[in-house]
Amino acid sequence: MNNVFIILVKPQLGRNIGSVARVMKNLNFKNLRIVNPRDGWPNEDVMSTVAGAYDIIKNTKIYDTVSEACNDLNYLFASSARKRDLNIKTLNLVKTVSSLNKTNFSRNDFKFGILFGCESSGLSNKDLITANQLIYIPSNSEFSSLNISHAVSLICWEFFKFFNNLSLDYNSKFFQNETPTIKDMDFFYNNLSKKLNDSGFFHSDLMKKSIMENIKVLFNRAELSSQEIKTLNGMIKSLYEYNKQA
pLDDT of res. 139: 87
Q: Smallest Cα–Cα separation from 227: which of 183, 160, 180?
A: 180
Res 15: pLDDT: 95
How far, CA to CA in Å, does 120 sit from each of 38, 81, 103?
12, 12, 36
Domain ranges of the chain: 4-173, 180-245
Q: Walk across the sheet containing 112-116 and list its strands.
A: 61-63, 31-35, 4-9, 112-116, 75-79, 133-136, 90-92
* Span 30-74, pLDDT tens digits: 999 999 999 999 899 999 999 999 999 999 999 999 999 999 999
Q: Is the peptide bond before 37 cis (omega within 30 degrees of 0)?
A: no
Which pLDDT band, with edges at 50, 70 and 90, does 171 fall under?
very low
Mean pLDDT over 121-126 rounds to 89
Residue 138 has pLDDT above 70, yes or no: yes
Q: What is the pLDDT of residues 191-230, one digit of tens each?
A: 999 999 988 899 899 999 999 999 999 998 888 888 999 9
Q: Quick check: helix, strand or coil at residue 162?
A: helix
- Residue 179's pLDDT band, with cuts at 50, 70 and 90, is confident
**Tens digit of pLDDT for each residue in 64-114?**
999 999 999 999 999 987 767 778 888 999 999 988 888 788 888 899 999
Residue 238 has pLDDT above 50, yes or no: yes
Residue 165: pLDDT band (50, 70, 90) is: confident
Q: What percent of the chain has pLDDT over 70?
A: 94
Q: What is the DSSP letter of 176?
A: G
3-state secondary structure of 16: helix
- What class has domain 180-245? mainly alpha
The topology under which CATH files domain 4-173 is Alpha/beta knot (3.40.1280)
pLDDT at residue 142, rounded to an integer: 84
Residue 161 near residue 93, CB atoms below 8 Å: no
Does residue 132 surpass a pLDDT of 90? yes
